[in-house]
């Protein structure tokens, strides 16, 4: 059996499905591709365990007893556990697919699916997590902004002048300048162009 080569970037795939035959088949396929694989028979089983700290993604069945795949994903997000998810379902209807994607899925696979489709979906999910890990320092710095600094940041990104931001927020222009200077230092940014690009990156995670 192929294992992850020494020095390669470790990757973990978490599988949550109440069908043991599907779990075993997916585990065998993904291990043969060099991934670390963790299998869970229920959503609660996964929630009771710590998530691996390496590059990771989640394969979750949409319809499971007690807690569905989308409900599990929502619970993880509520616990500030960011992990890309690929939803799987035996009910290949458009409505459930749309619902899954709205819940933040990177992919939606109707059962049965081809091995190549599954591996491609896992690859996209891991790419998404790789981007999150790359952007995490910026997100951590953004979390340190005060509510007022975030308001000022939105105004700057919209292209407003300091006096316009002050008028909208009903504060003095000097206060806007102080908040603006503070948020730029906290975000470790040098100019407005960098701030706009940072805001675009942050918005991707705020929406999902």
Q: Where are the beta strands (DSSP E) in the chain?
A: 11-16, 36-40, 55-61, 85-89, 105-110
The mean per-residue pLDDT over the stretch 177-181 comes to 98
| Per-residue pLDDT, 3 | 43
- Are 35 and 122 within 8 A, CB to CB? yes
Which of 4-13, 90-99, 165-174 has maximum average pLDDT? 165-174
Tokens of 151: 């308001």
Residue 2 pLDDT > 50, yes or no?
A: no
| Residue 64: pLDDT over 70 | yes
pLDDT above 50 (res 128): yes
At residue 77, the pLDDT reads: 83
Q: Report, in angstroms and rounded to the nearest whole number, the Rg of the chain calculated over CA atoms.
A: 21
Rounded Cα gap, residues 113 and 89, in angstroms = 10
Higher pLDDT, 193 or 79: 193
pTM, two decimals, is 0.74
pLDDT at 94: 61
pLDDT in tens, 77-125: 888 788 999 998 876 556 766 777 776 788 888 888 899 999 999 999 9
The DSSP code for 91 is: -
Domains and CATH numbers, the chain: 11-133 (3.40.50.2300), 144-207 (1.10.10.10)
| CA-closest candidate to residue 205, choices 79, 100, 77 | 77
Residues 27-59: pLDDT tens digits?
Answer: 999 999 999 999 999 999 999 998 888 899 999
Which pLDDT belongs to residue 93? 59
Cis peptide before 2, with omega less than 30 degrees from 0?
no
């Amino acid at each position: 059996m192929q294992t992850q080569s020494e020095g390669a970037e470790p990757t973990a795939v978490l599988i949550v499905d109440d069908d043991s035959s599907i779990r075993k088949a997916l585990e065998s396929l993904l291990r043969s591709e060099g991934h670390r694989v963790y299998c869970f028979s229920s959503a609660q089983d996964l929630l009771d365990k710590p998530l691996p700290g390496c590059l990771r993604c989640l394969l979750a069945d949409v319809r499971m007893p007690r807690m569905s795949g989308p409900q599990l994903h929502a619970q993880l997000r509520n616990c500030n556990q960011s992990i890309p998810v690929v939803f799987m379902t035996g009910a290949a209807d458009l409505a459930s697919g749309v619902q899954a994607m709205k819940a933040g899925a990177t992919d939606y696979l109707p059962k049965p699916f081809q091995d190549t489709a599954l591996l491609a979906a896992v690859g996209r999910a891991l790419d998404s997590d790789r981007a999150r890990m790359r952007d995490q320092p910026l997100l951590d710095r953004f979390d340190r902004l005060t509510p007022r600094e975030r308001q000022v940041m939105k105004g700057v990104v919209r292209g407003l002048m300091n006096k316009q931001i002050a008028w909208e927020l009903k504060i003095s222009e000097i206060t806007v300048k102080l908040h603006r200077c503070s948020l730029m230092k906290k975000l470790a940014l040098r100019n407005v162009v960098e701030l706009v690009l940072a805001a675009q990156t942050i918005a991707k995670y705020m929406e999902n």
